[in-house]
Amino acid sequence: MMKWEVVIGLETHAQLSTRSKIFSGSSTAFGASPNSQASAVDIALPGVLPVLNRGAVERAIRFGLAVGATISPRSIFARKNYFYPDLPKGYQISQYELPVVQGGSLTIMVGEVEKTVRLTRAHLEEDAGKSLHEDFHGMSGIDLNRAGTPLLEIVTEPDMASAEEAVAYAKALHALVQWIGICDGNMQEGSFRCDANVSVRRAGEPLGTRCEIKNLNSFNFMDKAIRYEVRRQIELIEDGGRVVQETRLYDPDKDETRSMRSKEDAMDYRYFPDPDLLPLTITPHWIAEVKATMPELPVAKQTRFTGEFGLSDYDARLLTQSRAWSDYFEAALAASGVPDKTVAAKSVANLMTSELAAALNRSETDIAGAPVTPHALAGLVLRSADGTLNNKMAKEVFAAMWEGEGDADAIIDKRGLKQISDSGEIEKIVDQVLSANAKSVEEFRAGKDKAFNALVGQVMKATKGKANPAQVNDLLKKKLAG
């Protein structure tokens, strides 16, 4: 049987983190009471007019710079005409023929493989309101608070070949928009929404008919929805059917996609340039100004972390998974006071990628809400680097810090967790252990390497884990050889 190929392109709506709406002075704050943030412009009273928010354009420029795209010196706002109760004007102001951002790309990791996803464009547009489907005597309720919220719609080329790749791209984009401070990334509140265009074809054949899947408001749903849709299309074709181009909605409760009735006749949007808005002009000077305020981007940071601090590629990627992670890393590193940056960086990285990551995972918190601050972690790093704590002790101190028992030094004091690095003291204990474990000594000499580990374990046990493991190793080796 012929192998199937999957072709996926994503369209992402990132809600831009402006204070006010894209064409009005209404607040964009989430969760306000219904229609309390819907101004005359947002509810499209007769006679009102749009005025573009500079902050929205600036965020689009930031995005364009971050993905190496062309920022159009002149772009056009167009009206997309269709009737829907959450669309008060009967048209959405969007960009059509000349979008603000053109081209660019995003490099993602699919497992351990690097892949580049090309972007087609990114354009500014306004969000619609919300239809609430609770039953009001068989009617729907319309809340227009969200109407006019600025969105950047980011469109890829059909460059992804699996649900895994699509999710990896979506995650990378999600991290990037937060990294450059243009979107809060809150998927529960709908700040970052993806639609997937999915088609399948037999290897070597032309592109198949695509379906657009909406409502992918978590990475998990995206994964499941695409997998379902791929299966559906393949089964359909193998059973002799044809894929119909349509918009489908993912239903997470049933784990399936279904056709959206409401979109069936909305295909003729009658786009035309909005006569209320003149062409948007972005000067090289403005782009330069925005560039000057851009944070160091993830890829540049990774390169610096590996080059400057000798971190592994793996660690560098983990630490640049989000702006919050890299900020945490750099803050802890700066506060540690350890003279050797390479040692300090390795220590911070280890604690973050093991202890911190695990604790965050267990408590389902994100790094911004971690009870151990970068400064607190720095205190722990210092005590590891200066030999006060061994690895095992460091873990214990971290756990205590997480539980709110105070800073590293206070916990070390309270628990008496000083590593024994006095060689005389360690030698005494080593001697005791050797004489009490004659059997292990014999076994070691007979070639059983495992016996050595048992002896190390006995020394550590005798010191309640406080002995400096490196010194214990050295001494044991010396004594056993002698």
Partner 1 sequence: MLNFTVKQLAAEIAARRVSSVEAAEFFLKRIKTLGKTLNAFISLDEEKTLVAARAADALLAAGQGGSLTGVPIAHKDIFCAKGWLTTCGSKMLANFTAPYDAHVMEQFNAAGTVTIGKTNMDEFAMGSSNETSYFGPVKNPWDITTVPGGSSGGSAAAVAARLAPAATGTDTGGSIRQPAALTGICGLKPTYGVVSRYGMIAFASSLDQAGPFARTAEDLGLLLNVMAGFDARDSTSLEREREDYTRELEKPLTGLRIGLPREFFAEGMAPDVAKAIDEAIAQYKKLGCEMVEVSLPNMKLSVPVYYVLAPAEASSNLSRFDGVRYGYRAPEYGDLIDMYKKSRAQGFGAEVKRRILIGTYVLSHGYYDAYYIKAQKLRRLIAQDFAAAFKRCDVILGPTSPGTAFKIGEKSGDPVQMYLSDIYTIAVNLAGLPGMSLPCGFDRASLPVGLQLIGDYFGEAKMLNVAHQYQLATDWHQRMPQGIETC
Partner 2 sequence: MSLTIDDVKRIAHLARIEAAPHEAEQVLGQLSGIFALIGEMQAVDTAGVEPMSHAQDLMLRLRDDVVTERDQHAAFQAVAPQVEADLYLVPKVIE
- Which residues bind to partner 2, rule: CB under 8 A? 18-20, 24-27, 33-40, 43, 45, 51-57, 83-86, 131-133, 136, 138-144, 249, 260-262, 265, 268, 270, 273, 275, 277-281
Q: Are 405 and 376 in contact (CB under 8 A)?
A: no
Say what angle helices 341-351 and 298-309 make with each other, to 10 degrees.
120
Instruction: Give which of partner 2, partner 1, none residue 384 binds (C-beta under 5 to 8 Å, depending on kind).
Output: none
275 vs 482, beta carbon nearer partner 1: 275
Among 409, 396, 407, 421, which Cα is nearest to 373's?
407
Amino acid code (one letter) for 64: G
CB of 87 to partner 1, least distance (A): 9
Q: Is 209 exposed, middle or buried (0-12, 13-18, 19+ CB in 10 A)?
A: middle
Strand-pairing partners, residue 251, are: 256
Which residues have a Cβ under 8 Å from the Cβ of 16 and sit 6 or more positions away?
A: 22, 55, 56, 59, 60, 150, 151, 152, 182, 183
Q: Is the dihedral of CA 449, 454, 458, 461 positive or negative?
A: positive
- Residue 120 in 3-state DSSP? strand
| The two structure tokens encoding residue 270 | 């009658």
Q: Judged by CB under 8 A, does residue 221 bind partner 1? A: no
Q: Which is nearer to partner 1, 85 or 241 (CB)?
A: 85
Tell me the CB-side half-sphere exposure of residue 474, using CA atoms within 13 A: 10
Closer to partner 2 by Cβ: residue 258 or 439: 258
Partner from partner 2, partner 1, none binding residue 79, C-beta < 5-8 Å depending on class: partner 1
Q: Which tokens hold the place of 395?
A: 């873990």
Q: Decide whether 203 or 267 has the Cβ nearer to partner 1.
A: 267
Question: Applying CB under 8 A, does 358 fall inside the site for partner 1?
Answer: no
CB of 269 to partner 2, least distance (A): 10
Residues in 12-71 at the binding interface with partner 1, rule: CB under 8 A: 40, 43-52
Nearest to partner 1 of 48, 260 (CB atom): 48
Among the residue ranges 251-259, 272-280, 415-423, 433-441, the one whose residues contact partner 1 (CB under 8 A): 272-280
As measured in angstroms, the least distance from the Cβ of 275 to partner 1 is: 4
27 binds, among partner 1, partner 2, none (CB under 5 to 8 A by kind): partner 2
Task: Give the shortest CB-265-to-partner 1 separation in angstroms.
Answer: 9
Angle at CA 170, nearest 5°, toward 164 and 173?
A: 140
Is the CB of 133 or the CB of 362 nearer to partner 2?
A: 133
Q: Which is nearer to partner 1, 91 or 305 (CB)?
A: 91
Give 234 or 260: the residue with its C-beta nearer to partner 2. Answer: 260
Torsions phi, psi for 165 (to 5 deg): -65, -40
Q: Are 244 and 233 in contact (CB under 8 A)?
A: no
**How many CB atoms lie under 10 A from the CB of residue 351?**
22
Please give the size of the binding site for partner 1, defined by CB under 8 A: 29
Q: Is 278 a residue that touches partner 1 (CB under 8 A)? A: yes
Q: Which of 13, 79, 130, 193 binds partner 1 (CB under 8 A)?
A: 79
The continuous run of DSSP H or E covering 109 comes out as strand 105-110
Q: Name the residues that contact partner 1, by CB under 8 A.
A: 40, 43-52, 79, 81, 83, 85, 88-91, 142, 267-268, 270-272, 275-278
